Amino acid sequence: MAVELDRVLLVPVGIAPHKAVEADAGAAHRVAMCEVAVAGDERLGVSRADVERDGPSYTVDLLRALRDAEPDDELTFIVGGDMAHSLPTWREPETVLELAELAVAEREGVRRADISGRLARLAGAAERVRFFDMPRVDVSSSLIRRRAAAGLPLRYLVPDAVAAYIEREALYRAPAPRPSGARLSFGDGG
C-alpha cells in the first residue's frame, strides 16, 4: 500500500524525552541537516515546531501544534515499525491516533502482525494505523553518528549534502585525545 501525501515534513526533535543522544549535534545542526537534505524538492519541507517548543518533545504535543497551525490539514505521522510497536508507551497514544493517521514502515526485527497485535487495544488503531511497503533501509541515526565519529564515509547512507555538512561542521567527532604524558601545572599566583 502506498501512502499518498501532498507534502512530507521532516521534524527534527527538540529535546528527546526518553533518551539522551550520545554526541548530540544540537537542535540547530539537526534543523540545518534536514534543510540541506530537502533543498530543491518542493514535496519536502522542514518544520521547526518541535525545536521551538520548550520542554521535552512529545509526539502528541507536536501533533497538537501542527493541527493548531493548519487545522484543515490531514496529518499522517510516518514511523518505523520499531516506533509503532512502542506506541502504547507514548504519552497519550490514543490522542496521537485521533490527531494523525499512523503510517508504518517495517523495520528489522518487528513484524506487522506483532505491531498490529500490540496496538489492537488502543482506540482508533484499527482505523488509523496503515502499513506501507518500501524498500528496507535499515540505517539509524546512531549508525550515522558512529560512522562519522570513526571518520568512515556516509555516502549512500544520507544525502550527499548532509554528508558534506557533517564533514564541514565536524559533527559527531570525538574530541582529540590529550597527548600522553601531558602535564598540567597550576601556579599559586605568587
Residue 97 lies in a domain: yes
Q: How far apart are CA 60 and CA 51, in angstroms?
A: 14
Residue 80 lies in a domain: yes
**Type of residue at 92:** E
Residue 129 lies in a domain: yes
pTM for this one?
Answer: 0.81
**pLDDT value for 85:** 94
Residue 100 has φ and ψ, to the nearest 5°, of: -150, 150
**pLDDT value for 57:** 84
Per-10-residue mean pLDDT of the chain, 190 residues long, equals 86 77 81 96 95 89 94 94 93 97 85 93 95 82 92 95 96 67 46
Q: How far apart are CA 160 and CA 40, in angstroms?
A: 13
Distances (CA, A) of 138 to 1, 26, 104, 123, 158: 20, 23, 14, 30, 12
Residue 29 lies in a domain: yes
Residue 164 lies in a domain: yes
Residue 181 lies in a domain: no
Q: Which long-range contacts (CB under 8 A, 24 or more apart) does 174-177 make?
A: 174/23, 174/149
**Type of residue at 56:** P
Residue 183 lies in a domain: no
Three cell numbers written together for 43 = 514535496
Query: How many separate domains does the chain show?
Result: 1
**pLDDT value for 20:** 62
Tell me which residue range forms the domain holding 138: 8-169
Q: How far apart are CA 54 and CA 13, in angstroms?
A: 12
| Cβ count within 10 A of residue 153 | 10
Cβ contact 101:128 at 8 Å: yes
CATH number at residue 158: 3.40.50.620
Q: How far apart are CA 7 and CA 44, in angstroms?
A: 6
**pLDDT value for 188:** 42
